[in-house]
Chains A and B, each alone.
Chain A
């Protein structure tokens, strides 16, 4: 909830009074049994006010504090247990004064029954400023040049209501049901364009979000000593309330469709059985049927009023773990999924020419996936353990006869891995692992035109290309002394892509390194520090102007080198001043860099390089808690948050949409937020 700045003084006085009231209530607190004080459920209530000193779209992306304003800070965590019956009441309210509030009520008689009602609000404030001529935002008719350029705020909001209930039944059975209803509203950046039309014919639209998503999960469970089962039904339903945008003064591509509603029902049975204390099998069987039959937004040339689309999916998972020898354990899993897109194939686009890379029919995608692994682990002396395993991944896809992207019916990936681990040491634990994966599959299916001629076949698609992957992973946990612990974690991955076509992804590698330290300076003061670095590098090749069937003109082969690097560091200190004032400070900074190299091979025209992109984010969180009496006190929070960037995504080269709409962001956002609240704890 935003508070008008003009009333800030009044709100401050109200908050101060509330804080003082909560804090002074400690004076009324009664002495109680110290054991009860430590072992009985505790409730808390806090109320106060915060003030953001400036607009901060990045900081307020999801928390509701995105504008310079005062905000009400309110939280409640009421917990009560009736010891005689084991009945719990809990009311948990968070961010009550913000647009990101959540309120949950639970009532339960432990081991008998229970229910809960949860309201959760999730917002997303668009961090970019949109300056546009578009009118009709939020509606299904949107007019470009509908108004002079002016700033509009875009945001989306999800209001989620969840109801849960459970009942324990005789014979080790239990029944649980969860129903979740989500209303999604708001507007987000959308658009339409036509490169075949006048130059720069790109227009910003906004996608009007107005939908209801419902999910119900009902599970009957059985928990026996050896056998556990869960039989359930999962229903998921998406209903779209705005299914189109009619665009006035835009391109000819109007109306623009919005996602249609769809429904799915799934029944499943999952369970586990312990054959012996060290041998257990698990399984899951599931069958789901999904449909999409929303009425088309315009008439179809084939006379259909809807796609009558549907997907049936059958899946199972089998697992077995065993310890055939005291020092040897084995584990295996097998997963299978058969996704059958049973949508009728029909001709939607007529008069398709012979050179087209489509035939006018819709293309359902069915797929069968088989994944499995087998792993053995053996305990060695002195706390060491060695593990070896093999993973398999096979996917079988259907494919259209006429296509514009190279297909592969099957991909097969096999991974071999080995790991050495040392555990059960009081000072040094860790693991190092190496894996090698090899992905290949059936022959690449060349593209043919509608007339049967060979079309362009130059790319090995990212998800289908042959790939060899080497990966090393390391983790060390070292406690050189009682007060100090150190942790080192990292990995290095190297990918090499290949295929029968000349272009596409070439290679990639990524590495990550983290070093963490925690030090107990005294009994009351602790310090933490960490550093992380992550870098991914990816190289691919394409053609400036591709030829047919698989040639690229000399001087047109282009290699892209795409790098992303993150360096992040953090420091924390917490403790107590004067014995009773708890203080803590956390400082973190992350620095992300994106590089977009493009190079023409074989002496073509040099390419103007895109600028690197960077984001630098600094956050300081400070808090101090001053107790007044045993159960109450005052808490002060201070946040410094700074985002700096030069991201050109929406404005590179001075880009504007055809109606001069701009999308921009403040490239240096600094926020100072201060919050003061009183709290009261009670039992």
Chain B
């Protein structure tokens, strides 16, 4: 029998080449794409290396939507990586792919970002190049996880973990008693900041600090009949939106905060105290706001002098 097969080797080979694909997918068949379009060459190894290099979860993401022909394949981001696929002669350890993104990657940040920006360069990413993050070599994958079904930074509940990894001063501030509901996942860093860069200062999502705050606090916008100048200029003059130990996230308590601008004539220079009679009650309860109740501005047009000091 063996001699028969050996004598007719070419016929056996031809039959195998025809029959094998028709009968199914034996292990030595041409590899097929597994998770991404065009990932076959990589998946020859990587579908069996999940424990060491967990990558398959990319299939759970929009990158893994194969019906969308815009989606990338492995080499779109990691480069052709010929030497990684075919180890050059004389090299004992398999070279890494051309572009690496994880911790300890030696691929420069701009080169890493090119992989993402080849598609994600419009919309909210328009101002990426020129942003402080890009200028400081913070790359897309410093914040985003690509090979996971749940990208932490895109979830309001887990996003602060990512941002606070670098902005550690904010980690202590958001734990203070007067704060936004960041710990509860109801307000996220990206509600106020666009980490991809923006036209506003400190990467604000709107064009100014105030316009950003007005998204949720629009009643402060006015303009009023009686305006309070710093209110119109920058909410951050009086408030620290990341958290303080003072009511309403004020940077300083009353009357100290008010006395940084207001002349000390009359009652304005009065010492901070617990005295509750008449003028000195500038410290407890709402402090100066006990009387100047509409401190962000008043639209009361009444013909009375104290209307202009936000008292009605």
Given A253-B312, A544-B271, 6 more A-B residue pairs with CB atoms under 8 Å apart are A62-B181, A110-B67, A257-B312, A259-B219, A405-B229, A590-B175
Nearest 4 Cβ contacts at the A-B interface: A653-B274, A39-B59, A86-B67, A223-B122
- Taking a contact as CB atoms under 8 Å apart, the answer to whether A615 and B176 are in contact is yes
CB-CB under 8 A from B269, the residues of chain A are 542-546, 556, 558
CB-CB under 8 A from A568, the residues of chain B are 171-172, 175
- Contact partner of B274 (CB less than 8 A), chosen from A176, A365, A652, is A652
Given known A238-B221, A341-B223, A613-B245, contact A335–B201 (CB-CB < 8 A): yes
0/1 interface trace, chain A 286-316, chain B, CB 8 Å (1 if under): 1000101010111111101001011100010
A185 is an interface residue with CB less than 8 A from chain B: no
CB-CB under 8 A from B173, the residues of chain A are 534, 566
0/1 interface trace, chain B 274-312, chain A, CB 8 Å (1 if under): 111111010111100111011011111111111110011
Contact residues of B between 45 and 89, Cβ < 8 Å to A:
47, 50, 56-60, 62, 64-70
Most chain A beta-carbon neighbours within 10 Å: one of B34, B173, B218, B219: B218
Listed A/B pairs (20) with beta-carbon separation below 8 Å: A40-B60, A62-B181, A110-B67, A111-B70, A192-B291, A193-B293, A193-B311, A253-B306, A270-B199, A271-B126, A280-B129, A282-B130, A296-B299, A299-B301, A311-B223, A377-B135, A560-B272, A590-B175, A651-B284, A653-B276
Given known A405-B263, A544-B269, contact A35–B218 (CB-CB < 8 A): no
Contact residues of B between 233 and 281, Cβ < 8 Å to A:
233-234, 237, 244-247, 252-253, 256, 259-279, 281
CB-CB under 8 A from A548, the residues of chain B are 265
Given known A256-B312, A307-B301, A562-B252, contact A405–B261 (CB-CB < 8 A): yes
- Taking a contact as CB atoms under 8 Å apart, the answer to whether A191 and B122 are in contact is no
- Taking a contact as CB atoms under 8 Å apart, the answer to whether A83 and B66 are in contact is yes
B151 is an interface residue with CB less than 8 A from chain A: no
Stretch of A456-464, A573-581, A672-680 contacting B (4+ beta carbons < 8 Å): A456-464
CB-CB under 8 A from A272, the residues of chain B are 121, 126-127, 129
- Contact partner of B227 (CB less than 8 A), chosen from A82, A363, A514, A544, is A363
- Taking a contact as CB atoms under 8 Å apart, the answer to whether B256 and A596 are in contact is yes
- Taking a contact as CB atoms under 8 Å apart, the answer to whether B225 and A259 are in contact is no
Contact residues of B between 101 and 152, Cβ < 8 Å to A:
103-104, 106, 108-109, 121-123, 126-127, 129-130, 134-137, 149
CB-CB under 8 A from B246, the residues of chain A are 594, 649
Given known A238-B221, A296-B301, contact A331–B234 (CB-CB < 8 A): no
CB-CB under 8 A from B60, the residues of chain A are 39-42, 79
Closest-by-CB residue of B relative to A543 is: B264
Interface residues of B (CB under 8 A from A): 34-35, 47, 50, 56-60, 62, 64-70, 103-104, 106, 108-109, 121-123, 126-127, 129-130, 134-137, 149, 157, 166, 168-169, 171-173, 175-177, 181, 183-187, 199-201, 207-208, 214-216, 218-227, 229-230, 232-234, 237, 244-247, 252-253, 256, 259-279, 281, 283-286, 289-291, 293-294, 296-308, 311-312
CB-CB under 8 A from B300, the residues of chain A are 255-257, 296-298
0/1 interface trace, chain A 401-426, chain B, CB 8 Å (1 if under): 00011100000000000000101101
A42 to B220, CA, bound (A): 43
CB-CB under 8 A from A364, the residues of chain B are 223, 227
A343 is an interface residue with CB less than 8 A from chain B: yes
0/1 interface trace, chain A 239-277, chain B, CB 8 Å (1 if under): 010000000000001111101101010000011100000
- Taking a contact as CB atoms under 8 Å apart, the answer to whether A86 and B68 are in contact is yes
Given known A200-B278, A365-B229, A421-B137, contact A319–B169 (CB-CB < 8 A): no
Q: With contacts defined as CB atoms under 8 Å apart, how many contacts are there between chain A and chain B in the complex?
A: 444
- Taking a contact as CB atoms under 8 Å apart, the answer to whether B67 and A652 are in contact is no
Most chain A beta-carbon neighbours within 10 Å: one of B199, B214, B277: B199
A333 is an interface residue with CB less than 8 A from chain B: yes
- Contact partner of B126 (CB less than 8 A), chosen from A270, A385, A615, A617, is A270
Min Cβ gap B179→A in Å is 9
CB-CB under 8 A from B222, the residues of chain A are 259-260, 262, 292, 309
A2 is an interface residue with CB less than 8 A from chain B: no
- Taking a contact as CB atoms under 8 Å apart, the answer to whether B264 and A35 are in contact is no
- Taking a contact as CB atoms under 8 Å apart, the answer to whether B123 and A590 are in contact is no
Stretch of A147-155, A345-353, A437-445 contacting B (4+ beta carbons < 8 Å): A345-353
- Taking a contact as CB atoms under 8 Å apart, the answer to whether B67 and A83 are in contact is yes
- Taking a contact as CB atoms under 8 Å apart, the answer to whether A38 and B264 are in contact is no
CB-CB under 8 A from B291, the residues of chain A are 192-195, 202
0/1 interface trace, chain A 520-562, chain B, CB 8 Å (1 if under): 0000000000101010001010111111100010001010101
- Taking a contact as CB atoms under 8 Å apart, the answer to whether B219 and A459 are in contact is no
- Taking a contact as CB atoms under 8 Å apart, the answer to whether A202 and B303 are in contact is no
- Taking a contact as CB atoms under 8 Å apart, the answer to whether A260 and B224 are in contact is yes
0/1 interface trace, chain A 356-387, chain B, CB 8 Å (1 if under): 10100011110100010001010000000101
Given known A307-B223, A653-B275, contact A122–B186 (CB-CB < 8 A): yes
- Taking a contact as CB atoms under 8 Å apart, the answer to whether B172 and A566 are in contact is yes
Closest-by-CB residue of B relative to A189 is: B286
A562 to B259, CA, bound (A): 13
CB-CB under 8 A from B184, the residues of chain A are 62-63, 100
- Taking a contact as CB atoms under 8 Å apart, the answer to whether A608 and B233 are in contact is no
Closest-by-CB residue of A relative to B120 is: A223
CB-CB under 8 A from B70, the residues of chain A are 111
Min Cβ gap B124→A in Å is 9
Min Cβ gap B172→A in Å is 5
- Contact partner of A81 (CB less than 8 A), chosen from B65, B268, B279, is B65
- Taking a contact as CB atoms under 8 Å apart, the answer to whether A592 and B176 are in contact is yes
- Contact partner of A546 (CB less than 8 A), chosen from B130, B225, B265, is B265
Closest-by-CB residue of A relative to B210 is: A339
Closest-by-CB residue of A relative to B283 is: A652
A78 to B277, CA, bound (A): 60
- Taking a contact as CB atoms under 8 Å apart, the answer to whether A650 and B219 are in contact is no
CB-CB under 8 A from A598, the residues of chain B are 271-272
Closest-by-CB residue of A relative to B297 is: A259
Most chain B beta-carbon neighbours within 10 Å: one of A222, A229, A302, A462: A462
Most chain A beta-carbon neighbours within 10 Å: one of B135, B221, B301: B301
A221 to B303, CA, bound (A): 51
Given known A321-B129, A610-B273, contact A256–B294 (CB-CB < 8 A): yes
Contact residues of A between 15 and 57, Cβ < 8 Å to B:
35, 38-42
- Taking a contact as CB atoms under 8 Å apart, the answer to whether A349 and B263 are in contact is no
A137 to B201, CA, bound (A): 40
